[in-house]
Amino acid sequence: MDKVIAIVGPTAVGKTALSIELARQEDGEVISGDSMQVYRHLDIGTAKVTPAERAGIPHHLIDICDVDQQYSAARFKQEANRWIEEITRRHRLPIIAGGTGLYIQSLTDNLALGDDQDNGEGEESPIRARWEQLAEEKGNAYLWEQLAHLDPAASRKIPVGNQRRLVRALEVIEKTGRPFSEQPQEERQADFLLIGLNTARPVLYDRINARVDQMIHQGLVEEARWLYEQGGSQLPAGKGIGYHELFDYFAGRCSLDEAVAKIKLDSRHYAKRQLTWFRNRMPVHWFDLVSGQDAIQDIKSVVDDWLKK
């Protein structure tokens, strides 16, 4: 079985640096798991790893789309699996680094996405949110009964206690109009080790704010203006945090200081959504690289033990 490391967590917590260090140590290659780094020309606002920072480590799924092209979790899953297979064939270790929860989960849980156009920016789909709310109000048994009515074959394979799978099955049925048991299911071909990075909330927020200030200094306003002139919020790439907030400034609806403050606020809210996604949906080993003195050694120890299994 192929082995894959996925480094996840909120924005500005150090995922990129860790992915490069592990790639150097374990002879790996990095696959971006970020829904915005796929876009060409958007380098500053997406915190895209620079050629110098890559330190000779091959990186994939970066700069593969124009800003007017739609990118989806379904496409990511297909292309990431292809790169996992290719990297493994070269006897190297695939390392996925990114904070787009749906993208990572599409691989680890082999989600049947079909033509799902969700960009995975941490927002719940309305269908999924409704089923999760029903699970909270009425319990898993209610969801299982609904699934048994809609798709008896699927209900026989999903236990009452597995809320995540129950919600996903009901969501897919509602989206596609077909039983979950009849959806194309691929065999999982990889063994994933999920390394999660986090730190104390005040420290994380300070890092996010400092990163936004650095982006402004590096030329984010000019980069966002270019995107605005290409079509702005009408483009798939125009919905990204760090860009759409500045569009209001360009249109004269707010000051630059107000736009920058909104970027920081939206980034902090996004970080909370990212943490909620990874904590509730995926079996992550969490570490604090910012405050934990021995965290990097602990991570390397976990990785080494996992690779030996």
Was 259 annotated as part of a binding site?
Answer: no
Contacts with 229 (C-beta within 8 Å, 6 or more apart), sequence order: none
Closest to 6 (Cα-Cα) out of 102, 89, 121, 141? 102
The tokens for 282 are 């995926």
Was 14 annotated as part of a binding site?
Answer: yes
What whole-number distance in Å separates Cα of residue 166 and Cα of residue 259?
Answer: 41
Residue 231, classed as helix, strand or coil, is coil
Was 50 annotated as part of a binding site?
Answer: no
Residue 36, classed as helix, strand or coil, is coil
Was 88 annotated as part of a binding site?
Answer: no
Was 16 annotated as part of a binding site?
Answer: yes
Amino acid at 234: Q
Contacts with 53 (C-beta within 8 Å, 6 or more apart), sequence order: 16, 20
Pairing mode, if any, of strands 285-287 and 190-197?
parallel
Tell me, rounded to whole angstroms, the distance of Cα 167 from its chain centroid: 19
Was 12 annotated as part of a binding site?
Answer: yes
Was 38 annotated as part of a binding site?
Answer: no
Where do we find the tokens 């970066």? 62
Was 9 annotated as part of a binding site?
Answer: yes
**Annotation: binding site for ATP:** 9-16
**Annotation: binding site for substrate:** 11-16
**Annotation: binding site:** 9-16
